[in-house]
Structure 1
């Protein structure tokens, strides 16, 4: 957890909160309409809070871990903002040349130590210059946040939005091959947890799963054949979701092999054994499976779910270190 803030350098005295539980988004099948909602692009990165208290600047994960040491360039960029104290909610991303954020590119930047080009997209303001703003309506919080970014600051950006016309905004986002959109009630205070006042609509099927095992490789493929995936249900049971082999480069196969080796388990962690056969894909040979303790979370893209609740046409995107395995559940869209 973050250390207690040093307020000696803050002339206003009142420090930002040490950490705020983030407001979450609920998956819906289509974006809402009407003037009570504003709409933003859904970024593909790490949800991150930026806490500024004078010279004490920190980046905190969605569970409150201090990751400031990993992103020194972003810390330096936040130092250039014209504030004494602030607490920003946003997303840390890697951006492709076409302007689209990419989680796989973010992971590659972290693995290779190239974090200087990452961008922090700020989309909410919870504290500013000694004053909490969490109880203000969202549209007013964003107005104050936009004023903080009146002067362009490389490495940190304000997240633009539109009010109303959610379906058309979402249509344009999908046409640009973006991950999706996020819609938020303009009149509501910041409410940690999932309250349904922030909702997301997907263009691409991207989701997090827990690695429950891996299979032996075949042919010339090294280290790992495929990763076996699972998710937790509301009653706490761990269910099988399918497997992924596509999208794993040789370097990532080697890294993931080393990552999973210490987690090998003698017993299957799933509460219900995986099916031996499926209408799609080759049969799962349990003799080739190595089970692991369910601790590693990965993000994958996929075409659809089959009728027997297995992922189809799955591709690996990267490991997610910012989300505990126990919080990984299957996302079912709300109407």
Structure 2
């Protein structure tokens, strides 16, 4: 799913969490509940990539809630959607295929309240996009399943945004 929040890396070292923006700012103190949740990851030093989102009562990410949490509004439920594992206990995993990185990541973040594994689907891309648009997700991001991690797009991703979040009209945005 394409999520409506802030892209954020999570560097964890023996329970100490740093939430880092794309520009390297440490926003850990802005999101104490997410930092506390990520501190529960049981391996010594994982480095994750994901999206930090404010989540509404309907369970869907909301950018306005994400901004409210960033501005210090209390009571906003924040969730870290983990979708990449770049390093694990000092070993580079970014060079492994996406499917292998996902297999390593899933057990690390499963069953931690405030952290959600952003799984992948294979199959009919158009059908997956329509199903994502129906409940109100921002869209979908397609990645090459056997590709290593590449920061930014690097031509390996395809985004498809929903034009009408309450309906199923979607637009394909290739290589953006």
Q: What TM-score does the superposition give when structure 1 sets the normalisation length?
A: 0.48
Aligned to 2:84: 124
Q: Secondary structure at the match of 1:94?
A: strand
Q: What are the residue-to-residue correspondences of 1:1-335 with 2, within 5 Å? A: 41-114=1-74, 117-150=77-110, 152-204=111-163, 333-334=173-174
Residue 127 and residue 149 in structure 1: after superposition, are their counterparts in 2 closer, same or farther (change >3 A)? same
SS of structure 2 residue aligned to 1:135: coil
Aligned length, in residue pairs: 169
Task: Name which one, 1 or 2, has greater alpha-carbon Rg.
Answer: 1
Question: Are the aligned partners of 1:45 and 1:93 in contact in 2 as well (CA < 8 Å)?
Answer: yes
Q: 1:171 to 1:55 in 2, by over 3 A?
A: closer
Q: Which whole-Å deviations, capped at 9, do the CAs of 1:211-230 have from their partners, x for residues lacking one?
A: xxxxxxxxxxxxxxxxxxxx
- Distance change in 2, residues 1:67/1:202 (3 Å): same
**Which stretches in structure 1 are left out of the alignment for 5+ residues?**
1-40, 207-331
Q: Secondary structure at the match of 1:118?
A: strand
SS of the aligned residue for 1:88 comes to strand
CA distance in 1, matches of 2:75, 2:52: 10
Runs of 5+ in structure 2 lacking a partner?
166-171
Shift of 1:166: 1.0
Pairwise CA distance, 1:161: 1.7
Counterparts of 1:334 and 1:110 in 2: how far apart (Å)? 30
Q: Deviations over 1:268-297 (max 9, x none)?
A: xxxxxxxxxxxxxxxxxxxxxxxxxxxxxx
C-alpha distance in 1 between matches for 2:145 and 2:121 = 11
- Report deviation, 1:43: 0.6
| Alignment partners' CA distance in 1, 2:29 and 2:44 | 21
RMSD (CA atoms): 2.0
TM-score, normalised with respect to structure 2: 0.88
SS of 2:80's partner is strand
